[in-house]
Amino acid sequence: MSYLDVSNLGFLIIIISLVGYLSNWLNVCWLNFRITQWLYFLGAFIHELSHAILCILTGAKIVEFKVFSRQPHVSHLSSRLPLIGQLLISIAPIFGGLFFLYAINYYLLQNYFVLAVPQDIWQVLAMPVGLFYQFNFLQWQTWLFLILMINSGAMIGLSWQDLKNFWPLLLIGLFVNAPFVTPYLFLAISLLVCNVILQLMLILIIKLILLFRR
């Protein structure tokens, strides 16, 4: 079954936003430790930097760039590219976050993990299993990747404000397929699902430890 039969741009972007929100919610409500707070700012920095880079590339003047605050954001003026410029700026964190994780894996980890780009919905569902199978908890590469993954929701997921900034195009995207973009949106969903599974496992481990310490 081809991915063109089961997905479109708007639907996948909404899924990315929802799973990213779930990841952030789990961190705030269940994994609100100092280390996850610092890692959140790393994810937020990549997220906002992606917005900023696309602002520059589309001719939108940056007014404010804030990361270390309760509401990290980039404020900017209108893009020189009507409609499409705002779309590119808003969805930039998806591709900026993917690029960051791929760059870390390629340059620092020397391709320790195989991060294949899914080509259909079944590969999206299978990728978390394949990635977990590659984990070796005796190797530092696994721990570094896990640390970076734990806040991929803040890195890759789109905020409510991001969606509001291009909602007319988002509605149009519900009826549009783009074969050259869809596999990378699939990849973003797969990594976010991996992240949520890791968070749930970590929450369960913490609960069990606290239970046995009573």
Confidence (pTM): 0.92
* Residue 214 confidence (pLDDT): 72
Determine the Cα–Cα distance for residues 50 and 44; give it in Å rounded to an integer.
Answer: 10
Q: Give me the count of residues in the chain.
A: 214
For residue 171, list its beta bridge partners.
none
* Residue 76 confidence (pLDDT): 95
Residues 129-146, mean pLDDT to the nearest whole number: 94
Residue keyed to tokens 């977990």:
132
* Residue 35 confidence (pLDDT): 84
**Domain residue limits, the chain:** 3-212
pLDDT bin (cut points 50, 70, 90) of residue 2 is very low
Give, as one character, the DSSP assignment of residue 73.
E
Q: Is the pLDDT of residue 4 over 70?
A: no
Q: Of the given ranges (4-18, 40-54, 143-157), which has the lowest mean pLDDT?
A: 4-18
Q: Give residue 181's identity as a one-letter amino acid code.
A: V
Angle formed by the axes of helices 34-57 and 140-149, nearest 10°: 70
What average pLDDT is seen over the chain? 91
Can you give the three-state secondary structure of 108-162, one letter per residue? HCCCCCCCCCCCCHHHHHHHHHHHHHCCCCCCHHHHHHHHHHCCHHHHHCCCHHH
